[in-house]
Amino acid sequence: MTDFEIRTLRDDEHRAASDLFRETLHAPPSGDTEWERAGLAYQPGGTIGAFDPAFIGTARSFDAELMVPGGARLPVAGVTGVGVRADRTRRGVLRAMMTAQLEDFAARGVVFANLGASEAGIYGRFGYGLATRCRTYSVDRHRARLRPDLPFAGEVELLALDDSVAALPGVYDGLEHRPGMMTRPEVLWRLYESHARRSTDVVKTVVHHGPDGPDGYVTYSVGGLHVHPWTKTLVVADMFAGSPAAFAGLWRFLLGVDLVDRIVVPERPLDEPIELILADHRRATVDRVGDEHWLRLVDVPKALAAREYGHAAPVVIEVVDSLLPANTGTYRITADGAERTGEQAALALDVTTLAMLYMGTWRASALAAAGRIEVRDPAAPAAADFLFSTRVQSWCGSFF
């Protein structure tokens, strides 16, 4: 079946798109009060729909910037709200929407697209590769203690929800970002506010103030009263620290919250040093390691030229992109940058695998061993390992 239309939705169609997406998640439609807030998370002109003529599919996006290895920021589209009505799946609707969306991004000069996948088997077909990974860990609040030699500079401030809504965008913007992190436009902050206001648990925010001003924050909630009135779990929803002192200060606060037995910290960077700041590292346990964000290189030449590379022998790669054929070609990667070339390729890969390699999360040699990269020069994977390496683990940290 291909007899359907893909078009950009009007603002007055966003609620129908929201209801359709929620239906694909087996959730009820938004109530009027909830929609008043949730509707603010829709960027005008950022949502598409599929019609046959009934409304059968939708996908939306918002514009932001992505930090790549080396510190450059480039345009990125955050993709979310993707769904097809249950009686129209597996008929080409999703492929048509994703293709139309990517073509629009390319036409507007967007360099990347980024998403969190509900199912891991879907988005590789459209050039998205698993670019950042994360881990969820738990800390025993009663037995965990910070090392006494940790930096101690600054103080914490507990904010009411209304105050945190006003303050957090400025705090976040002022922090040093790692590769993979995104700017957060107003529509994304409105999404977070909507989640906080409809939460059944009270959402709290603590800001850490260092010598030069706010340099970190944590947003959390405490639940578990339905299990036992004095047995509770504190769950961190959002946390960023701009310095070691801020990270230590936020954890001093969290470990001091009374009537809490366990602190759960979901989807954090793989290299976040929680074990290193504890006197007994076994008081932190890793509950899960999994995928975080999936990246799509919409403009391969600009993406490759923008990032920083490690010091190694040059490597020529051949990239194939079936959906955006302008990206297909060979590129010479050196410690000084990347550009198109007519040289013979040492490695061949598709754009999905390039996205996995781009942020340094996966090594070229591992991808080659798994059959994701065709090796034409045996020395090339080791050189590519160094070229695409990063000083810290890439991580996005923004849910949408």
Boundary (domain end) residue, out of 291, 309, 324: 291
Residue at 200 is within a domain:
yes
User: Mind listing the pLDDT tens digit for each residue in 333-365?
Assistant: 999 999 999 999 999 999 999 999 999 999 999
Q: What is the mean pLDDT of the chain?
A: 96
Boundary (domain end) residue, out of 269, 291, 313: 291
Residue at 234 is within a domain:
yes
Place of tokens 């200060």: 249
User: Mind listing the pLDDT tens digit for each residue in 242-301?
Assistant: 999 999 999 999 999 999 999 999 999 999 999 999 999 999 999 999 999 999 999 999
Which range of residues forms the domain containing residue 261? 135-291
| CATH number of the domain enclosing 204 | 3.40.630.30
Give the pLDDT of residue 228. Answer: 57
Judge if 249 and 303 occupy the same domain.
Answer: no
Residue at 394 is within a domain:
no
Q: What does the block give as tokens for 40?
A: 């603010």
Catalytic, 240? Answer no
Q: How confident is the model at residue 229 (pLDDT cuts 50, 70, 90)?
A: low
| Contact criterion met (CB below 8 Å) for 57 and 84 | yes
Q: What does the block give as tokens for 124?
A: 């590789």
Residue at 78 is within a domain:
yes
In whole angstroms, give the CA distance from residue 224 to residue 217: 23
User: Mind listing the pLDDT tens digit for each residue in 41-81?
Assistant: 999 999 999 999 999 999 999 999 999 999 999 999 999 99
Judge if 139 and 260 occupy the same domain.
Answer: yes
Q: What does the block give as tokens for 340?
A: 């198109």
How many domains would you assign to the chain?
A: 3
Judge if 67 and 20 occupy the same domain.
Answer: yes
Residue at 121 is within a domain:
no
Q: Which of 217, 309, 388, 400 is catalytic?
A: 400
Boundary (domain end) residue, out of 115, 145, 178: 115
Judge if 214 and 342 occupy the same domain.
Answer: no
Judge if 193 and 255 occupy the same domain.
Answer: yes
Judge if 317 and 287 occupy the same domain.
Answer: no
Query: Is the pTM here over 0.85, yes or no?
Result: yes
Q: How confident is the model at residue 85 (pLDDT cuts 50, 70, 90)?
A: very high
User: What is the Cα 347 distance to its own chain's centre?
Assistant: 28
In whole angstroms, give the CA distance from residue 69 to residue 137: 26
DSSP calls for 247-313: HHHHHHHHHT-SS-SEEEEEEE-TT--HHHHBSSGGGEEEEEEEE--EEEESSHHHHHHHS---SS-
| Contact criterion met (CB below 8 Å) for 289 and 161 | no
Give the pLDDT of residue 46. Answer: 98
In the predicted structure, residue 24 carries a pLDDT above the cut 80: yes
Give the pLDDT of residue 378. Answer: 98
Residue at 392 is within a domain:
no
| CATH number of the domain enclosing 378 | 3.30.1050.10
Q: How confident is the model at residue 2 (pLDDT cuts 50, 70, 90)?
A: low
Judge if 142 and 278 occupy the same domain.
Answer: yes
In the predicted structure, residue 102 carries a pLDDT above the cut 70: yes
In the predicted structure, residue 324 carries a pLDDT above the cut 70: yes
| Contact criterion met (CB below 8 Å) for 347 and 374 | yes
Judge if 175 and 264 occupy the same domain.
Answer: yes
Judge if 287 and 302 occupy the same domain.
Answer: no
Judge if 253 and 146 occupy the same domain.
Answer: yes
Residue at 320 is within a domain:
yes
Residue at 235 is within a domain:
yes
Q: How confident is the model at residue 225 (pLDDT cuts 50, 70, 90)?
A: low
In whole angstroms, give the CA distance from residue 316 to residue 339: 10
Judge if 260 and 211 occupy the same domain.
Answer: yes
Catalytic, 400? Answer yes
Q: What does the block give as tokens for 104?
A: 């629009």
Q: Which of 123, 217, 309, 388 is catalytic?
A: 123
Task: Of 206, 233, 207, 237, give the one whose Cα is nearest residue 222.
Answer: 233
Judge if 256 and 341 occupy the same domain.
Answer: no
